[in-house]
Amino acid sequence: MVWILDCYTISDHYPYSQRNGDQLNYIRNSVKVVVDTYTGDTDFYVSDPDDPIIKTWARVFPAMFKPITAMPPDLHSHIRYPEDFFQVQADTYRTYHMTDPQVSITAKIVGIPARELRRPDRAEQPYYVIVRLPGQKDAEYMMMLPMTPSGRDNMIAWMAARCDGADYGHLFEYSFSKDRLIYGPYQIQARINQNPEISRQLSLWNQMGSKVLLGNLLVIPIQDSLLYVEPLFIRAENGQLPELQRVRSRHTAIGS
């Protein structure tokens, strides 16, 4: 058994690069570290050979870093795109997805990660799913994140990062028509909770020594539509092991 860890090269003085809220202006997920959980042996595999910072470190410690192609295939199939790195990229993309300079100046933030009803004060976190994209033959492992306009809850796009094989690291975005209202996670959860039958059941479960816990709402594309799926767990007040009780879902068409 091994652990696969993500390591980063960062800087706050990289030339011609704008700083983000953390005062960094450069970050790369340049190294995958494999740690043997029994012996503690550690291998460093360079996953971004074009990163100039890791190139320098590799020259300083030539025996330490190995190319990612040297990673055993059974391990390489398990690497995944890191969530925190994807969040940094999604935050930067809020502004830099715009190609019109005038729009970029007057509307600096037009797309932000969606929020959920269970945590309205926090943006939704990226989540990993196994899904078959429209037009693809096979399902694949990827991470995705719904996006909403600034100050609104309708969904205008979602971003995704692919994790499998040669597609690893490929980022893409599905943009939705501005002429149609596509519900975001917050709106979908509110509409589900407005269902009288569901509302009564939630009230019943939230008493008599139990508590309802809502999982992450998933937005899954299926051909020309979206499927919203949310797990619902029940946990005893004095217990620590939630039990999956229901899966709530809703469907909406996005095609013409």
- Residue with the bigger pLDDT between 243 and 76: it is 76
Is the Cβ–Cβ distance between 221 and 144 less than 8 Å? Answer: no
Does residue 165 share a domain with residue 105? yes
Does residue 58 share a domain with residue 185? no
Give bridge partners of residue 21 from the DSSP assignment: none
Asked if residue 29 is part of any domain, the answer here is: yes
Q: How many domains does the chain have?
A: 2
Does residue 112 share a domain with residue 71? no
Confidence of residue 246 (pLDDT cuts 50, 70, 90): confident
Q: How do residues 128-178 score in pLDDT, each as one tens digit?
A: 989 888 778 889 999 988 888 777 888 888 889 999 988 899 998 888 877
Kindly report whether the global pTM for this prediction surpasses the value 0.75: yes
Asked if residue 177 is part of any domain, the answer here is: yes
Task: State the pLDDT at residue 213.
Answer: 83
The domain containing residue 220 runs over which residues? Answer: 92-256
Strands (E) located in the chain: 2-11, 26-36, 42-46, 65-67, 112-113, 115-116, 119-123, 127-131, 140-148, 157-162, 171-175, 210-214, 218-222, 225-236, 243-253
Q: How do residues 175-232 score in pLDDT, each as one tens digit?
A: 887 778 888 888 888 888 888 888 888 888 887 678 888 888 888 888 778 888 888 8
Is the Cβ–Cβ distance between 5 and 47 less than 8 Å? Answer: no
Domain end position, chosen among 76, 100, 115 = 76
Asked if residue 28 is part of any domain, the answer here is: yes
Joined together, the tokens standing for residue 117 give: 């009803």
Task: State the pLDDT at residue 83.
Answer: 92
- Residue with the bigger pLDDT between 21 and 247: it is 247
Rounded Cα distance, 147 and 170, in Å: 18
Does residue 180 share a domain with residue 152? yes
Confidence of residue 53 (pLDDT cuts 50, 70, 90): very high
Percent of the chain topping pLDDT 90: 30
In terms of Cβ atoms closer than 10 Å to its own Cβ (0-12, 13-18, 19+), residue 159 is buried
Asked if residue 176 is part of any domain, the answer here is: yes
Does residue 112 share a domain with residue 69? no
Task: State the pLDDT at residue 194.
Answer: 84
Task: State the pLDDT at residue 176.
Answer: 82
Answer yes or no: is pLDDT of 113 > 70.
Answer: no
